Structure 1
Amino acid sequence: MGVARGAVEVTVLTHRGAVRQANEDAVVMGALTVAGAEMNAPAHCWLPIADPVIIAVADGLGGHAAGEIASEHAVHRMAESGPQLTGPESVDLLLKHIDDEIKEHAGQHVEFSGMGTTVAGVLLTPDANYWFNVGDSRTYRLKDSRLIQLSEDDSPVLPPAEDGRPVTTNYITQSLGGSGNTAMVPHVGQDTEPGPGAWLMCSDGLSDLVPLEEMERIIAEAGDDNIAVYNLWKAAMNASGRDNISILLVRRHS
């Protein structure tokens, strides 16, 4: 399929990884959602941008099936509300509503106490591009083979390891649900470059295991988004695959 005007191209893969028994990640692409799946190859779709389109990854957390329920609820709510979103204020309000809903569900079911989910994604409208996140899932802009992180990690700053590499942690300071009585404050911003562009969204099952420079190299050398996403997943699996892995490579063509 050739380049379509007024459309966004999405390549996605979500997988439980090599260690976890289940996949608590979920993804949303416009009206499409995938939750709890184990994909062994990327899926590819095109979405029109006549109305706003939301594209995001959610990484569930909590015991039992709680994380899977939280992430699935988050992506379903984003799919329902995406076409009505107009900008940062409406994204902020939607994420706060989802946070309240997950907390309410957890309060009604003791086995789901503490359930929550991260989220990271983009909202593409006919006139602008926005990014958002809560937690440590990430949104990057892809520009000239470089990945520029737009999202803000909600995790404590740790001193680098002896070799100078950053140290990662599974601890996050806030999520949708799971934040106790602390007010959840989403990170929402407008991409400084409107119109055509490319973004990478991922759960920390990729970003914690594969260095940024390696991710950039894999995308640059692939020459095809399906190959790029598959090779990113394979790199995370080869680096232990100790967490669920979800990857979205997004290209807006007008």
Structure 2
Amino acid sequence: MPSYITVTALSHPGLLRDHNEDSLVVSPWTLCGTVTENPQTLVFPLGTPLVVAVADGIGGQPAGEVASALTVRQLASCGPSLDSEEAVRDALGLCNHAVYAAADRDPELITMGTTVAGAVVLSESLLVFNVGDSRVLDATEHGLRQVSVDDSPPLAPGRRTTSLVTQALGGAPEFSAITPHVMTSPLSAGDRYLVCTDGLTDPVPEDALDDLLRAHDGGRAAFELWKSAIEAGGPDNITLALIGIGG
């Protein structure tokens, strides 16, 4: 039976952006718009709901780092109560309201928005959630399997990625409700999940990510994933968290 959880995480602006608009929560800790020099690993007992999520401020619009920070801090405050799909949907709705409310108070923040993706680890299951195109990937023995659902328009022929999203927290001049993607997966010792922003998945193909996760674990895996995005040009902020289920 699983008995503990490891989370290894890092956040980096990449090579082309002048600042980091990504944020990260490993409840109750948050990391907002900053840089980790090395992967950090935390260990938690299995039991109380543990939320692990990334938020990616929408580029080309103001204050993405504010929207992503608001979102992860809201999730951190809700963390222990996130024990069902309904609770996760409600929490994401609160995040959406918080982003719009902050924009209403400050004209310079109008249209700020963020994606979010993550997982809540429960004693016997995992609640996977997302709004936007940040991702949660299950590192199975048969290869990586995406368990989040990209909110993106159809790709043009020959294109593997797009920077457009069809749904986000905030991001519009007036309030718009969201329909979060939330699903439940069973939990077993040895399971591994990758939660990340598109600064990793856009420049690095999924088969390359799979190869790295097969070859490495923990801090080394997180470092090699980050390095692969940097070697691919580091076009965007890179934030990732590796969740490991130990027995």
TM (normalized to structure 2)?
0.94
Deviates more, 1:172-181 or 1:110-119: 172-181
Q: Which amino acid aligns with 2:29?
A: L
1:173 pairs, out of 161, 166, 170, with 166
1:182 positional shift: 3.4
The correspondence for 2:212, drawn from 218, 221, 229, is 218
Per the alignment, residue 114 of structure 2 pairs with 117
Letter in 2 for 1:58: A
Aligned residue number for residue 222 of structure 2: 229
The one-letter code sitting in structure 1 at the alignment partner of 2:140 is K
Partner in structure 2 of residue 202 of structure 1: 196
Aligned 8 A contact 1:145 1:216 in 2: no
The two structures, once aligned, show a CA RMSD in angstroms of 1.7
Deviates more, 1:226-235 or 1:176-185: 176-185
Counterpart of 1:107?
A: 104
How far the C-alpha of 1:35 sits from its partner, in A, is 1.0
Counterpart in the other structure of 1:186? 180
What's the counterpart of residue 56 of structure 1? Answer: 53
- Residue 173 of structure 1 aligns to a residue whose secondary structure is coil
Q: Pick closer, same or farther for the CA change 1:145–1:249 going to 2, 3 Å.
A: farther
- Residue 83 of structure 1: aligned partner: 80
Amino acid at match of 1:10: V
CA contact (8 A) 2:62 2:111 kept: no
* 1:160-211 deviations in Å (ceiling 9; x for gaps): 31xxxx42111111111114443211000011x3333210011000000000
AA aligned opposite 1:167: R
Alignment of 1:8-19 (within 5 A): 8-19=5-16
- Determine if contact 2:57/2:115 at 8 Å carries over to the other structure: yes
Structure 1 runs, 4 residues or longer, greater than 3 Å off: 62-65, 179-182
Quick one: which of 220, 225, 244 aligns to 2:237?
244
Secondary structure (helix, strand or coil) at the match of 1:83 reads: helix
Deviation at 1:145, TM superposition (A): 5.7
1:37 equivalent in structure 2? 34
Alpha-carbon separation, structure 2, partners of 1:33 and 1:188 = 22
- 3-state SS of paired residue (1:167): coil
Superimposed CA distance per residue, residues 55-84 of structure 1 (whole angstroms, 9 cap, x where no aligned partner): 011101256761111111111111111101
Residue identity in the other structure for 1:106: A
Residue 127 (structure 1) shift: 2.8
Q: Which moved more, 1:62-71 or 1:33-42?
A: 62-71
Aligned length: 245
Retained in 2: the 8 A contact 1:155–1:171?
Answer: yes
The equivalent residue for 1:147 is 144
Q: Is the 8 A contact 2:61 2:111 kept in 1?
A: no
> Does the aligned pair in 1 maintain the 2:50–2:80 contact within 8 Å?
yes
Code of the residue aligned with 2:231 in structure 1: it is N
Give TM-score, length-normalised by structure 1: 0.91
Q: Is the 8 A contact 1:139 1:150 kept in 2?
A: yes
